[in-house]
Chain A
Amino acid sequence: MATESSYDNVPRLVDHLFRHETGKLVAVLTRIFGPHHLELAEDVVQDTLLEAINVWNYKGIPEHPIPWLYKVAKNKALNIVNREKYKREYATAAAHLLKSEWTANAALETLFSESEIRDDQLRMMFTCCHPAISGDSQVALTLKTLCGFSLSEIARAFLTTEENINKRLVRARQKIREEKISFEVPQPEHLEDRLDAVLQTIYLLFNEGYNASTGPYLIRYELCAEAIRLTEIISVSSSIVDKSKVFACLALMYLNASRFSARQNAQGEIVTMAEQDRSQWDKLLMAKGFAYLDQAATNKNISVYHILAAISAYHCSAANFASTDWNSILLLYDKLSELDRSPLVALNRAIALSKVSGPETAIAELEKLKDLSPLKSYHLYYSTLGEFYMQAGRFTEAKNALTTAIALSQLPAEQELLRKRLEICNQNGA
């Protein structure tokens, strides 16, 4: 029978405890079993949580739930490395230590220590984001193994079926086995490229949360929070010397996240940057963003994250929309276009250009892009163009662009905003 005090623990059970412990335990068990046994590690963790829930459901939550979980996981790990079937397969150095009674206890203590588990999560990021694995699968595998998302939760986040996500995971695990992808922080000569790949996947995760492209929710906070959590694990690692990009990426995510609550009103409608109540911007997140931006400025290498974070910082530091320093932002976009020639960057640059040189100049820029591939079916291209036409008083053209944007948008909140703009065009005789 549990003591009564264990019921007071309920509010103290940190949100997402199970999810985060899942990510940690899968990482440490993958180190023990080897990345070719990734699925085994995932199954053992699922079993561990199930055992916890089956016992805690009757006896209450123990006073120290995390050590309880770890103890169960340790026992299961010991049982597996001593199993005949497992012994016959390629075993890791960690598994060897666990097989001998002389070393097992000390090895378990070390393997399950906080700093080792943090490093294992970092190793796991490099494994999940290995270039041999396709981009889609990298994201799915990261969410499954490091963030403890279930198939249905990943499927919901990317609006696809569980079957589809499962296929991606199966393919990813298969690649890890076939290509013998290791579970380690890459050697210095490969580190920069591999770190770029990890950051790219994490930033994709953040963006999917920040700019949800479909579905009823504008912002999926959990994806953003997970992206930040993973990047912070990288930022404290001693195996990575040059963290300038890591800090820049964190700065960018925190600065963007600071505007979350102002981007959507109580009715779930989008509030544009011009109309946002800046008192709602989260000062604490913003301060973290600025602090990381300072740390990012440690060497002369300027990455895309540096520029994007600096742009976000200019928005954050403007007292109101009218006083935004658009000249500096346009200069940053010019620099960004040199690093990244994608039409999406050109689209964003056009917004800054319209503020500096007026809507007609920006319209001319955008019209040059109209046949480029992602833009010609991208709702934001047409909504931006529509906005510029409105500013230039060309309401009939604005109406056409906005109608196309509404047809291409998959987000109800966005469509609603566009319809309001369309109504203004109608009132102006379009």
Chain B
Amino acid sequence: MGHFCFKGVKTINHLKSKKMKEFMLLIRTQGDHLAELSPEQQQQHLKKVMTYMGGLMQSGKLNSAQPLDMEGVIISGAAGKLKDGPFNETKEVIAGYFLVQANSLEEAIQIAKENPVFEDGTGARIEVRPIKVMEGING
């Protein structure tokens, strides 16, 4: 956890000094969209991703990235009658996220477009969302 706090502090200072914004890139895929690749192709894909992430890290734009397990539940309904719905992994799922910082939405979009997920998988989508910052409250 200490590692994460340190990262967070560094990020906030960085944001303040350069007026960079944080963006959440949500990776949406059709189930295990890389399952059809051969071991060799998977390795090639991995190399591309590592080059991509290495570049983001070197320029200080990558704050965090995590995969999400292909299981879980979806809670829906209203208070008092909440349902733990089954998690359907055959449809589009959020496979993971990248938390990046960029000067503008355009730059964040560019970063998302360079993700190798578009080269090797099929039907992947990336949702680019600015993190909402309220001045004086959580800024």
In the complex, are the beta carbons of A150 and B43 less than 8 A apart?
A: no
Q: Any chain A CB within 8 A of the CB of B13? A: no
Chain B residue nearest to A154 (CB atoms) is B38
B40, B66, B97: the one within 8 Å of A19 (CB): B40
Number of A-B contacts (CB under 8 A): 85
User: Interface on B for A, CB 8 Å cutoff?
Assistant: 3-4, 7, 32, 34-35, 37-43, 45-47, 49-51, 53-54, 57, 64-67, 70, 95-98, 117
Q: For the complex, give the distance between the alpha carbons of A21 and B46 in Å.
A: 15
In the complex, are the beta carbons of A57 and B7 less than 8 A apart?
A: no
Q: For the complex, give the distance between the alpha carbons of A21 and B64 in Å.
A: 29
Cβ contacts A to B, 27 pairs, < 8 Å: A1-B3, A1-B4, A1-B64, A7-B50, A13-B43, A13-B47, A16-B43, A21-B39, A49-B39, A49-B42, A52-B46, A53-B42, A54-B34, A54-B96, A55-B67, A57-B46, A57-B96, A58-B67, A58-B97, A59-B65, A59-B66, A60-B50, A61-B46, A150-B37, A150-B40, A150-B41, A152-B38
Q: Which chain A positions have C-beta within 8 A of B50?
A: 7, 9-10, 56, 60-61
- Can you list, as one digit per residue, whether each of A1-33 has a CB less than 8 Å from chain B (1) or not (0)? 100100101100100111101100000000000
Q: Which chain A positions have C-beta within 8 A of B42?
A: 18, 49-50, 53
In the complex, are the beta carbons of B67 and A46 less than 8 A apart?
A: no
In the complex, are the beta carbons of A58 and B96 less than 8 A apart?
A: yes
Q: For the complex, give the distance between the alpha carbons of A57 and B4 in Å.
A: 19
Q: For the complex, give the distance between the alpha carbons of A59 and B46 in Å.
A: 11
Could you say which of A54, A55, A150 has the most chain B C-beta atoms within 10 Å of its C-beta?
A54
Chain B residue nearest to A153 (CB atoms) is B38
Q: Any chain B CB within 8 A of the CB of A148? A: yes
In the complex, are the beta carbons of A53 and B45 less than 8 A apart?
A: yes
Q: Which chain A positions have C-beta within 8 A of B53?
A: 7, 60
Q: Which chain A positions have C-beta within 8 A of B96?
A: 54, 57-58
- How many A residues, CB 8 Å from partner? 30
Q: Which chain B positions have C-beta within 8 A of A57?
A: 46, 49, 67, 96, 117
Chain A residue nearest to B95 (CB atoms) is A54
Q: Any chain B CB within 8 A of the CB of A206? A: no
Shortest CB-to-CB span from B115 to chain A, Å, is 9
Q: Which chain A positions have C-beta within 8 A of B37?
A: 150
Q: Any chain B CB within 8 A of the CB of A149? A: yes
Chain B residue nearest to A20 (CB atoms) is B39
In the complex, are the beta carbons of A150 and B39 less than 8 A apart?
A: yes
6 further contact pairs, Cβ within 8 A, besides A13-B43, A18-B46, A19-B43: A1-B4, A10-B51, A16-B40, A19-B39, A50-B35, A149-B38
Could you say which of B3, B32, B46, B97 has the most chain A C-beta atoms within 10 Å of its C-beta?
B46
Q: For the complex, give the distance between the alpha carbons of A14 and B24 in Å.
A: 33
In the complex, are the beta carbons of A150 and B67 less than 8 A apart?
A: no
Chain B residue nearest to A1 (CB atoms) is B64
Q: Which chain A positions have C-beta within 8 A of B45?
A: 53
In the complex, are the beta carbons of B39 and A148 less than 8 A apart?
A: yes
Q: For the complex, give the distance between the alpha carbons of A53 and B35 in Å.
A: 10
Q: Which chain B positions have C-beta within 8 A of A46?
A: 35
Shortest CB-to-CB span from A73 to chain B, Å, is 13
- Can you list, as one digit per residue, whether each of A308-332 has a CB less than 8 Å from chain B (1) or not (0)? 0000000000000000000000000
Chain B residue nearest to A17 (CB atoms) is B43
Q: For the complex, give the distance between the alpha carbons of A374 and B64 in Å.
A: 63
Q: For the complex, give the distance between the alpha carbons of A152 and B38 in Å.
A: 8
In the complex, are the beta carbons of B47 and A10 less than 8 A apart?
A: yes
Would A150 and B47 be within 8 Å (CB), given that A50-B32, A54-B95, A57-B67 are in contact? no
Q: Which chain A positions have C-beta within 8 A of B57?
A: 4, 7
Chain A residue nearest to B55 (CB atoms) is A7
Interface residues of A in 176-191 (CB under 8 A from B): none
Q: For the complex, give the distance between the alpha carbons of A21 and B40 in Å.
A: 10
Q: For the complex, give the distance between the alpha carbons of A58 and B66 in Å.
A: 5
